[in-house]
Structure 1
Amino acid sequence: MGKASTGPTPGYLVWRLANKWRVAVDRALAPLGLTHAQYALVASLHGMQRGGERPSQRRLADHTGLEALYVSKLARALDSAGLIERTRDPRDPRAVQLALTEEGQTVTRQAIVVVQELLGQLLEPLGGLDTPRTRAFTDELTALLDVPLAPSPPHHERTRRATP
C-alpha cells in the first residue's frame, strides 16, 4: 500500500474550486437576474450565434456539458424571462432551436463583462488572465477535461462486485 496523503486530494480541490466559482458567479450575476447555469447557456449561445449557428437544445447541451433535460428546463426559464426564443427546427420537428432575443443579447454582453472581471480576480494569484501560469493552468484543466469517462458498469454488476 502507498502512503496516505496528508493534504487534500486533487479531486477535492477541483470540487472546491468549482463550487467557489459557481457561488461567485451566482452572486455577481444576481443583479442581472441570471444564475451561473443560465449564464453558461446564454454565453455559449451568444458565441455560437456570433459564429452563425442557431443551435438546438441538444447541441447546446453537448457544447456546455450540461444534461439535455437541464438545458431544456433552463431554456424554458430563459424563454419566459424574454432572454431567448425557442422555435421548432424546420428540418426536425422534435428538435428545438434556441436564439438570444435582443434583450438577451444585451443582458448576455453585460454578464460576460461581469464574469470576465470576476475571472480576473480569481486568477490574480496566478498573475492575471494572460500570463504563462494561467495558460499552463488552463492547459492542465483542458487535459483533465479531455479524458473521456469510462462508462459505468450496469447496476447489477456494481452490486455483485461489492458483495464478497
Structure 2
Amino acid sequence: MEEQLKLENQTCFPLYALSREITNAYRPLLEEIDLTYPQYLVLLVLWENKTVTVNQLGEKLYLDSGTLTPLLKRLQGKGLIDRTRSKRDERVVEISLTAAGEQLEQQALKIPEKLAESLRLSIDELTKLREITCTILQKI
C-alpha cells in the first residue's frame, strides 16, 4: 500500500475527528443554555455585530442560505433573534438580536473557558490551534 493512502498519514482525518470531538465537548455546555452548536455560532456573530444580513452570516459561518434558514427560524422561535426585510432592498433579510438574545450572552461568557478545561488545553494552545486553522481557511 502506498504511504500517502494510509489513514494515519492523512491531514484531513485528524482535523475531521478533532472537529467532531470539539463539537461534542460543546454539547453539554450549550445544553445548559438550550442551544445547539450551529445556533451558538449564529449568536456569536450577532453578539459581535448586533445586526447582519443572511448573506453576511453565511459568509462568516461558511454556510449557505438553505442551511441557515431553518436554523434562523428555530432561533426566532426561541425568541432570540428577529428576521426582517431590509427597508432598502426587500430581497435582503436582516438578522438582529432580541432582548432575550442579548441577555443570553451573559450566560455564554464562561463557555470558552469551560471548553478549554474540558479539552485539557491551555488558552495559548487553543489560540495557536485557532490561528493555524484560520490560516488554512484563508488560503483555500
2:132 aligns to what?
140
Task: Report deviation, 1:137.
Answer: 2.9
What do residues 86-129 of structure 1 show as CA deviations (whole Å, max 9, x unaligned)? 111001101111111111111133124223421344261xxx11
Aligned residues of 1:84 and 1:99 also touching (Cα < 8 A): yes
TM-score, normalising length from structure 2?
0.86
What is aligned with 2:35? 34
Say which SS state the counterpart of residue 55 (structure 1) adopts.
strand
Q: Cα gap change, 1:32/1:135 in structure 2, threshold over 3 Å: closer, same or farther?
A: closer
Which whole-Å CA distance do the structure 2 matches of 1:14 and 1:107 have between them?
30
- Residues 3-152 of structure 1 mapped to structure 2, 5 A cutoff: 3-4=3-4, 5=6, 7=8, 9-49=10-50, 54-122=51-119, 124=121, 128-129=122-123, 131=124, 133-148=125-140
5+ residue gaps, structure 2, are: none
Deviations 1:28-52 (A, max 9, x none): 1112110000000011111112xxx
Question: Percentage identity across aligned positions?
Answer: 22
Greater than 6 Å deviation, 4+ residue runs: none
Superposed CA RMSD: 2.1
CA contact (8 A) 2:53 2:94 kept: yes
Unaligned ranges ≥5, structure 1: 149-164
CA distance in 2, matches of 1:115, 1:144: 22
CA distance in 2, matches of 1:14, 1:101: 35
> How many residues in Structure 1 have an aligned counterpart in Structure 2?
139
